[in-house]
């Protein structure tokens, strides 16, 4: 039995296109994988810990071979709990709208919280980073309203999928499939949405 975690980065609820397309994916996944567990982590639900001075200090303490204490220990424990929740799944679905050419800041916060030494990565002075989240799969729903493939820089630049794909691979997740919805300001929204939903169903059936 596999365990799928849907991590959603949009705060827009029922108005969110990325969340709606992810819902299509989840519906098809449940239908075709009736024995699997499916859960949802809404990054805006208040459970994602901050990664501020105490957590940053704890990370550097761990890097130096020490043990965080006091406020740093509490911040580190919160980061570890978030990572352990994330790591307990072998399948991931991310719904990621484009914000200002990049990802929503809550998704960047999630990345900063879980990307810790001996959890997501290790590092060697001669060979560089080691990637520890191996053997997992990811599907990503990317959406944007203005930017679209083939448009010039006056319509923006896609840093959101390039950044997030790079993080997944850096973490060790190389089995990645994506669903894209980029109708642009003059495109056929209904046509693009139908294509995105069908792509989501296709991936979910064999995911």
pLDDT at position 9, please? Answer: 98
Q: Is residue 139 part of a domain?
A: yes
Tell me the pLDDT of the chain averaged across its residues.
97
- Residue 77 in any domain: the answer is no
Q: What residues contact residue 153 under an 8 Å CB cut-off, 6+ apart?
A: none
| Position 72 in a domain | no
Digit-coded pLDDT (tens) for 190-201: 999 999 999 999
- Phi, psi of 167, deg, nearest 5: -65, -45
Please state, in angstroms and rounded to a whole number, the distance separating the CA atoms of residues 32 and 18. 21
Query: What is the spatial distance between Cα 169 and Cα 158, in angstroms, rounded to a whole number?
Result: 18
Helix (H, G, I), strand (E, B) or coil at 99: strand
- Dihedral (C-alpha) 83, 112, 203, 192: value to the nearest 10 degrees? 150
Q: Is residue 135 part of a domain?
A: yes
CATH code assigned at 23: 3.40.50.360
Burial of 139 (0-12, 13-18, 19+ CB in 10 A): buried
pLDDT tens figures, 124-168: 999 999 999 999 999 999 999 999 999 999 999 999 999 999 999
Distance set, CA 128 to CA 121, 122, 123, 125, 144 (Å): 10, 8, 5, 6, 34
Find residue 140's DSSP bridge partners: 94, 178
Residue 184 lies in a domain: yes
> Can you give the C-alpha Rg of the chain in angstroms?
18
pLDDT, position 200: 98
pLDDT, tens digit (0-9, with 9 covering 90-100), for 79-135: 999 999 999 999 999 999 999 999 999 999 999 999 999 999 999 999 999 999 999
Q: Tell me, what's the pLDDT at 92?
A: 99
* β-bridge partners, 37: 3
Q: Per DSSP, what are the bridge partners of residue 3?
A: 37
Domain enclosing residue 30, as ranges: 3-47+85-205
Give domain status of residue 55, yes or no. Answer: no
Backbone angles phi, psi at 72, to 5 degrees: -65, -40
What is residue 129's predicted lDDT score, i.e. its pLDDT? 96
What's residue 141's pLDDT? 98
pTM of the model: 0.96
Q: Note whether residue 53 is domain-resident.
A: no
How confident is residue 27, by pLDDT bands cut at 50, 70 and 90? very high
Rounded Cα distance, 130 and 76, in Å: 21
The widest CA-to-CA distance across the chain, in whole angstroms, is 56
Residue 134: what pLDDT? 97
Q: What total of structural domains would you count in the chain?
A: 1
């Amino acid at each position: 039995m596999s365990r799928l975690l849907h991590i959603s980065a949009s705060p827009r609820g029922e108005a969110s296109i990325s969340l709606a397309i992810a819902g299509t994916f989840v519906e098809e996944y449940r239908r075709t994988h009736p024995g699997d567990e499916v859960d949802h982590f809404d990054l805006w639900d208040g459970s994602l810990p901050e990664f501020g001075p105490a957590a940053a200090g704890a990370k550097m303490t761990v890097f130096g071979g020490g043990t965080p204490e006091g406020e740093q220990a509490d911040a580190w424990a919160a980061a570890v709990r978030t990572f352990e929740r994330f790591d307990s799944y072998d399948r991931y679905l991310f719904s990621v709208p484009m914000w200002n050419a990049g990802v929503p800041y809550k998704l960047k916060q999630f990345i900063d919280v879980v990307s810790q030494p001996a959890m997501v990565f290790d590092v060697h002075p001669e060979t560089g980073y080691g990637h520890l989240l191996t053997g997992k799969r990811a599907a990503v729903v990317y959406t944007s309203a203005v930017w679209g493939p083939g448009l010039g820089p006056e319509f923006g630049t896609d840093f959101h999928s390039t950044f997030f794909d790079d993080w997944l691979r850096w973490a060790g997740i190389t089995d990645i499939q994506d669903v894209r919805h980029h109708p642009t300001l003059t495109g056929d929204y209904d046509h693009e949405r139908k294509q995105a939903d069908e792509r989501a169903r296709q991936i979910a059936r064999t995911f």
